[in-house]
Structure 1
Amino acid sequence: MVSQPMPLLNGEPHVGVFIKTASHQVVEVLGAAGLAFGVIDGEHAPIDRSVLDTMLLAGYACRLPLLVRVADGSGPAISSVLDMGAAGIVVPHVDCPEYARQVVAHAKFAGGRRGLSTSPRYAGYGSMSMHEAVCSGDETAVICQIEDPEGVQNAQLIAQVEGVDALFIGPLDLAHSLGADSVREPVVREACEHIARAACGAGKAAAIFLSDPSDKAYYQELGVTLFIIGSDQSMMRQGTRALSSA
């Protein structure tokens, strides 16, 4: 057993969803549907460590790469999910390059401070050598979420931090932090565009959450390649409403 396949940083567009329900069955259903990846929401959803472990195991079983949005950028929060075999992390509220460097250090063995053990899932439960475990662990993706005015201002510097693989644009969080009433307001759109250009200009991937799939084409033209469109909950709600209307 090795780290999950992570083809998401190859420059091609990929579509995934947020997973907010604490259920390995949800992961299996989404994996069978042909999605490119999923993002387990460990920041806002009530998902404890034991359930998260089972969800990541389900991701392995159906070969669905799973990122985890951690609650914060601390060492324990990051190393825990990576040891379980997450394909990468999404760290919220990264607002400066110094914080981005701390995140990378917590996520990486080589040049970082991630504690090494060959016994967790990512290292095949002890079946890997130390060198193999280090190489396997350092293949995971580090994605910094930009959702504050300071983060927008520092987006280029954050993207240039070695070890940061992508910038993730959170339009709803940006709207709130920028004092806007909607993600459609020009100030929010300009911030999203700025972050996308900062990522692409540094040779890094750009990711974005979209509640409306029709917005995908616009952001793809800007160079965004990772699209998190809705969530398991929103899909269930929309399907239920359609059924009720019918």
Structure 2
Amino acid sequence: MKNKIYENHLKEIMRERPVFGVTIYSGCPQFIELLGYAGFDFAFIDAEHCPWETTGLHEAVLAARSVGISPLVRVTSPDMIEIRKALEMGAEGVIVPHVRTVEEMEICVKGAKFPPIGRRGFDVNVRAAQYGFDLGGVEFYEEANRTELVIPMAEDFEFTDQLDEMMSVQGIDAINFGPADFSMSLNCKSNTSGENSFYDLNDSPADVAMKEIIAKARSKEIGVMAPAVPPTYENAKKLIDKGVNMVIMGNDLGNYAAALKTIRDETLAKFK
């Protein structure tokens, strides 16, 4: 019998409605716990841009599990060992950055899924399998294959240049579209200006690419993740109306900074 703290439910929820999360850059488990108390569905735990080693995410994963939200770990690259280790420590899914080739797309699946879907190394002496305590090997790998998410990132023009081939890889659960890196890979200028210009999804090249990905994903029952920038209701609704069903509502540092700016401008400035 699997402990409820390690039950995976995100795929089930996604069948009923869009899901919402926040990216965690700070390395602060308390911020992850707060997401659970606030009613979010997942924590996007970033090991790519942060000084976190993929093997050092134990406390972050446990923080998410403790409040009943899904820990999704972004590893540093399409690497089978990193992907497996993130899942073994209890992540409900892996997000893999800069997937540019069909071979890298296949690596995402091979590292995350057990045979016959992938080639993930098997061991029950890990947190995801309750260290083998009352959870049989067959039950473990069947449940892992069924419920854990493999989420490659489409954030380079190479992904969309061979979109049909990329999306034909079996075992993918969702695509995380990164508009900023995608725009930069094209070296294209945004239709807007300011700090959020690279996240422009208003008829920009990135917007066109995301719509193409959504169309392909929808026909294969694959989810699509994208950021609402800034994280407002209006921006989230625009994404959902386009077909996105995994919405990133900012990040811990950005949201914290926005709250501090509000306090500064609305309160502190009146006393200085």
Judge same fold: TM > 0.5, yes or no: yes
**Alpha-carbon distance between aligned partners in 2 of 1:140 and 1:10, rounded to the nearest angstrom:** 14
Q: State the match for 1:137 in structure 2.
A: 144
> Are residues 1:27 and 2:28 paired?
no
Q: Give matches, 1:46-195, under 5 Å.
A: 46-49=51-54, 51-111=56-116, 112-127=118-133, 128-138=135-145, 139-182=147-190, 183-184=199-200, 186-195=204-213
Deviation at 1:193, TM superposition (A): 1.5
Offset, 1:219: 2.2
Equivalent residue of 1:125, what SS? helix
Separation in 2, partners of 1:10, 1:87 = 16
TM-score, with length taken from structure 2: 0.85
User: When the two structures are superposed, what TM-score results if normalisation uses the length of structure 1?
Assistant: 0.93
Q: What is the CA distance between 1:232 and its match in structure 2?
A: 0.5
For each residue in 1:14-66, what CA deviation from the matched residue of structure 2 results, as whole angstroms up to 9, or x when unmatched? 11110111122111111111101111011111123464111111111111101
**CA 1:204–1:197: 2 relative to 1, 3 Å:** same
* Cα offset, 1:11, TM superposition: 5.2
Cα deviation per residue 1:116-152 (whole Å; 9 max; x = unaligned)? 1111110012111111121232221001110111101
| In the alignment, structure 1 residue 203 sits paired with structure 2 residue 224 | no
Q: Which runs of 5+ in 1 are unaligned?
A: none
Give the gaps of 5 or more residues in structure 2.
Answer: 191-198, 267-272
Matching residue's letter, 1:232: D
- Tell me the C-alpha RMSD between the 2 structures: 1.7
Figure out how many residues of one structure are paired with residues of the other and give that number: 246
| Aligned mates of 1:228, 1:65 — CA distance in 2 | 13
2:129 alignment partner AA: A
**What secondary structure sits across from 2:227 in the alignment?**
strand
- Which residue matches 2:246? 226
Larger mean CA deviation between 121-130 and 5-14 belongs to 5-14
